[in-house]
A and B are shown apart, each in its own frame.
Chain A
Amino acid sequence: MKFGIVVFPGSNCDHDVYHAVSHVSGETAVFLWHKDHDLEGVDAVILPGGFSYGDYLRAGAIARFSPLMNEVVDFAGQGGLVLGICNGFQVLTEVGLLPGALIPNTTMKFECKTVTLRVESTETPYTAAYTGGQVIRMPIAHGEGRYYAEEKTLDLLEEENRVIFRYVNAAGKPTAAANPNGSLRNIAGICNAERNVLGLMPHPERAVETILGLTDGLGVFQSMIQERMTV
């Protein structure tokens, strides 16, 4: 499987994603420069974490106008797999591939820690390798990760089973204390109606090896690889 990792000025998790899909998962990966207009025939696009354009104006607001984003939007429209992690999630909401927005944490702090998540749906190409309701741990590192959308959008997401990851406590309950950034309904990750575009604030690529302390993020990449093999 060939992964394309989009590099914006200010991306800083691009090499971590490369490591996760290439060295750890044994697949092919290429970096895609944001100014290009070529997805190089990749099977999946990953928008990595970081601070594209220094988070100027709003996180992801300027990156979403990068030339390559036209190709990414077309690719998503054709059913291609597009995964946005952290800043990548922010870019996906700004470009309109996912609803809602990510706004400054209610804590007013940059939150950098391990969080506990519940896998809310395994019916996506990103979560099929997990079990429904599985409680997993991944790191977060963001200042603007509070998921916000209007009530009716939130209701629609729940109705269509599009909330994919939620912040929970160790017992798997979505409490206020388990919510690191004030996200509405403890939302950590969502997908689009067609389920081929997923955005999440936690970093699966930083949880793929025992030496990193966590391996629960591997399931995201394994799910994508499985999906590709069954197509």
Chain B
Amino acid sequence: MIKALITVHYKQGILDPQGKAVQHALKSLSVDGVSEARVGKHIVLTFPDLPRKEADAQTRKACEKILSNPVIEDFEYELVEAES
């Protein structure tokens, strides 16, 4: 089966207040060298039966139609073979 590992995040330039809060927390924990933290979403779709090409098309459709809002977000994904 194929799993689509999808990441959705705010476009660069859009203030991500959650990322800012995380960045401040990292600083207070002495995690050094971080210039920016941005928080996104991770979505996994499982395709038990579809061939890779079709799974790719369906994943793209899902990302464009509902999983991301093109006004504010970008998405990227990767298809991986999985046992279960």
Q: Which residues of A contact B (CB under 8 A)?
A: 57-58, 61-62, 65, 93-94, 99-101, 103-108, 148-150, 182
Please report the C-alpha to C-alpha distance between residue A161 and residue B39 in the assembled complex, in whole angstroms: 35
Q: Which B residues from 51 to 67 make CB contacts under 8 A with A?
A: 66-67
Interface: B50 (CB within 8 A): no
Q: Quick check: B17 and A106 within 8 Å, CB to CB?
A: yes
Which range contains the number of B residues in contact with the other chain? Answer: 10 to 19
Look across to chain A and name the residue whose beta carbon is closest to the beta carbon of B70: A101
- If A57-B67, A61-B66, A65-B66 touch, does A104 touch B72 (CB 8 Å cutoff)? no
**B69→A61 contact, CB < 8 A:** yes
Question: B17 touching A57 by the CB < 8 A rule?
Answer: no
A103 touches B72 (CB 8 A): yes
- CB pair A106–B15 under 8 Å, yes or no, is yes
The interface residues of chain B lying within 8 Å CB-to-CB of A104 are 17-18
Give the most central of B14, B67, B69, B71: most A CB within 10 Å.
B71
Known pairs A148-B72, A149-B71, A182-B15; A57 contacts B66 (CB<8 A): yes
Most buried by A among B10, B14, B15: B15
The answer to whether B21 has its CB under 8 Å from any CB of chain A is yes
Interface residues of B (CB under 8 A from A): 10, 14-15, 17-18, 21, 41, 66-67, 69, 71-72
Q: Are A108 and B69 in contact (CB under 8 A)?
A: no
A146 to B14, CA, bound (A): 11
Q: How far is the CB of B32 from chain A (nearest CB, A)?
A: 24
Interfacial chain A residues near B21, Cβ < 8 Å:
108
Give chain B nearest CB distance to A13 CB in angstroms: 23
**Which residue of A is nearest B43, CB measured?**
A57
A182 to B15, CA, bound (A): 10
Pick the residue among A101, A108, A182 that contacts B72 (CB under 8 A).
Answer: A101
Residues of A within 8 A of B69 (CB): 58, 61, 94, 101
What is the bound-complex CA distance between A178 and B39, given in angstroms? 27
Once the chains are docked, how many angstroms separate the CA of A58 from the CA of B43? 13
Give every chain A residue within 8 A of B10 (Cβ-Cβ).
103
Point out the residue from B15, B17, B66, B71 that lies within 8 Å of A100, measured CB to CB. B71
Residues of B within 8 A of A62 (CB): 66
Query: How far apart sit A182 and B41, CA to CA, in the bound complex (Å)?
Result: 22
A150 and B13 alpha carbons, distance in the complex (Å): 10
Asked if B66 and A148 sit within 8 Å, CB to CB, the answer is no
Which of chain A's residues have a CB closer than 8 A to the CB of B41?
57
